[in-house]
Structure formats: C-alpha cells, structure tokens
Amino acid sequence: MTTRVDFKAKNGEATKGELALPETAAKAPAVVLIQEWWGVDDHIRSILTRLASAGFLAVAPDLYDGEVVPISNEPRASERMNTLDWGRAIAQIDKGPWKEAFVAVDPVWGELDFWRVLERSSHKLTTFYLLSALDLRYDSSGHVAKTFPDQAIFLDVYGRTLLISFLVTAATLLLGYPIAHLLATLPKRTSNLLMILVLLPFSTSILVRTTAWVVLLQTNGLINDLLVWIGVLSERVQLIYNRGGTILAMTHIQLPFTVLPIYSVMKTISPTHMRAARSLGAGPFYAFWRVYVPQTLPGVGAGCLLTFILCLGYYITPALVGGPLDQMVSYFVALYTNRELNWGMASALGAMLLAVTLVFYVIFNRVIGIDKMKLG
C-alpha cells in the first residue's frame, strides 16, 4: 500500500510523492525510487510496496506532478521525459551526494563502464548492431574492439557465404563452358533439342530441384544406392546436410544462369576465326585459348557475376540441404527476424549482405547493363 504525500523539495517548492512505509520498524532505512518515463504508475507503486515489505521506507517523488502516461503512448512519455526540468526534478529528489548513495545500493554504479553503456544506449541511433554484425563491440574504454571469441560468428558467416558463392560460380563455369560451346556450335536443330535440357531445369521451381537433391542425397537415397551397387562405397555415407551437398545442389540450380549468357555470346562468334587461326599455323589448343576464349569473356563475366550475385542471397537450398555450418547470411537474417525476434541484428546483417550484393550489382550494371538482360 502506498500513500500520496506532500513534502517540500530542496528548493522550498511544495511537491508530491508516493510513500510506502514498512509495517514493522518505525525507523527504517529509506530508499528514494526514481520513476520511469511513464510517471509514477502502478508499476512504481508496486515496487514501493515491495521495498516497504522488505523493510525499507520507500518514497518516489512525482516528477510529472501526477501525470501518468499510458504505456502505449511512448511518444508522449519520451516528450515528457525530454522536457523535464531537471533542476527542479533534482531538487524534488532532494539531497546528495548521490554517488555514494548509488554505490551503496550497487557497486556497479561506481564503475565508469556502466555509465558508458548507459550513455551509448540513451541515443536514438546506435551502431551496436552494425558493429555486432562485424563481430565488433565497444570495449570498456569506449573504443571499438574485437568481440569476444565465443560470440564472433558473423565474419565467419560472410567468409562462408563468399566462399560457397565463389565455389558454386567456379563449378558452374567449369561445367557450363563446354555445354555452352556445344550448344553454340551444333546445328540449330540439335542445339534446340539440347537447349531443352538446359531450359527445363531453368524453369523448374528451385524448391522442386532442392527436393530432388534431398531425395537423391539421403543416406537411403539413390546416389548412395548407386555407389554401393557399383562398389565405390562399402557402406552408405552421409551425403546431405554438409558443405558438399549444398554446393552440389546450388551448382545444379545456378548452372543455367551461367550457361545462358555465355551461350548467347558464343553464338555471335563466327567459326571462321578458329579456322583462320588454324590455317595460320596455330595448334588446336593455342587457337582455342588465344582466339576463341578471349571473345567469350563478356559472356563469362556476365554469367559468373549473375550467378555469384544470386548465390550471395541463397537461403532455401542451404536451409534444406546444408548442415548448421553451411548456412549463409540470409539464413541468419531469417533466424533473427522470425525465431530470435532480434530485429536490430536482422537489419544489420541484412544491411551487410545488401551492401556486398550492391557492390557486385553496380559492377554488373557497369560491365553488362541490367536493362540489356533478356528473358526467354
């Protein structure tokens, strides 16, 4: 139970407060409780009551002169607190020295670090999440430092994202270049037929293709069946939920994205160039490497950049085919948004991923031009 009391502030002004007395002792140690920005509300009163039942004389000066801001009205609370006349409020809270009083309650108030944390958290904007997303933190002296080793996971995640994207891009180039060449040099009828083999996977849902890989790679799946049957393996091995499975499935999904731009460039290269090179005495490999390949570089650049950019944002496939250590940045953005509800962290990670993606997007736009992209 609390009672409303009138008392005189230090500057002589009449002021009000909420008081709770302990039941037992008439003379008790006193606690001055400072209200939150909502005002002296039921919550503050309940704490006063609890302090009183613990044997303290507890008083909360009403710095808002009786106004209680509803908990839903954060803007008003913020306004009320920010326009508070602090000189008057301190007079209402009465006398110091406060430092000793605070330290007596909890030694942590005497530590500079604690006040630094308060100072940093009192701003509307904070770099905390962005720094955390880079595995950085403020150390006790307020400087930016590396975060504790057991919490430093994100640099590893970016590294992994870039590595997986790079490996997938390299694999699609390695597999895609020969078939792009074949498609571009075969007679139109045959190449149109073979093109279906590229376009069917291309137009099939990523989820369908990921399903296919999950079915194939399972420990009881077909690839294991096949390998055991041929005799390559003596017993079944885990092919899924690891890095290899992730890269395999992603390569399969991205292959058409790399092949098609390379194909469309190869299509424009006249076969006479190779014949000319050969007739001038170049060996087949020399002619291919010095005459043909340089002409395909624009297509290689477009296909690889496109695949690399798309890989950076992969979420579904690693989530279904990868293990815990194969999850890329997108997974963590989703995790912090949907599961952990740490939206600051989700946004910071998203911003990092976006920044990296945009760098490559700008390169892509400079080199190839996004509006020159063709579909179908």
Partner 1 sequence: MALPAYASPTERLWHGVYLIVCTCVFLFLVAPILVIIPLSFSSEPWFTYPLPGLSLRWYQDFFLNERWRIAIDNSLIIAISSTLLATLLGTLAALGLSRGNIPLRGLIMGILISPMIVPVVITAVAMYFGYALVGLTDSYLGVILAHTALATPFVVITVTATLTSFDRSLIRAAAGLGAPPSMAFRKVMLPLIAPGVISGALFAFFTSWDEVVVVLFLGSPEQRTLPRQMFSGIREQISPTITAAATFLVVLSALLMLALELLRRRSERLRGMRG
Identify the residue among 21, 155, 316, 363 touching partner 1 (CB under 8 A). Answer: 316
Of 194, 227, 269, 282, which lies in the binding site for partner 1, with binding defined by CB under 8 A?
A: 194
**Which burial class, exposed, middle or buried, applies to 334 when counting CB atoms under 10 A from its CB (0-12, 13-18, 19+)?**
middle
Query: What is the Cα–Cα distance from 259 to 294, expressed in whole angstroms?
Result: 16
Contact call for residue 263 and partner 1 (CB under 8 A): no
Minimum CB distance to partner 1, residue 353 (Å): 6
- The structure tokens 């030694």 sit at 107
CA distance 218 to 226: 12
Per-residue string for binding with partner 1, 280-299, x by CB under 8 A? Answer: ----x---------------
Please spell the DSSP secondary structure of 152-169, one letter per residue: --HHHHHHHHHHHHHHHH
User: How far apart are CB 170 and partner 1 at their closest, in Å?
Assistant: 15
Phi, psi of 343 (to 5 degrees): -75, -30
Residue number, 84 or 200, with CB nearest to partner 1: 200
Which one of the spans 4-12, 66-74, 87-95, 204-212 is the region binding partner 1 (CB under 8 A)?
204-212
Q: How many CB atoms lie within 10 A of CB 196?
A: 9
354 binds partner 1 (CB under 8 A): yes
Q: Is 371 in the site for partner 1 (CB under 8 A)?
A: yes
Instruction: Tell me which stretch binds partner 1 (CB under 8 A): 23-31, 102-110, 162-170, 220-228.
Output: 220-228
- Pairing between strand 57-61 and 30-32? parallel
In a 13 Å sphere around the CA of 139, the CA atoms on its Cβ side amount to 7
Report the residue from 54, 222, 233, 237 that binds partner 1 according to the rule CB under 8 A: 222
Which of 205, 208, 200, 157 shows the shortest CA–CA distance to 333?
157
- Residue 105 binding partner 1, by CB under 8 A: no
Total H helices, total E strands in the chain: 17, 6
Which parts of this chain interact with partner 1 (CB under 8 A)?
175-176, 178-179, 181-182, 185-186, 194, 196-201, 203-216, 218, 220-222, 225, 252, 255-256, 275, 278, 284, 309, 312-313, 315-316, 319-320, 329-330, 333-334, 337-338, 343, 346-347, 350, 353-354, 357-358, 361, 364-365, 370-371, 373-376
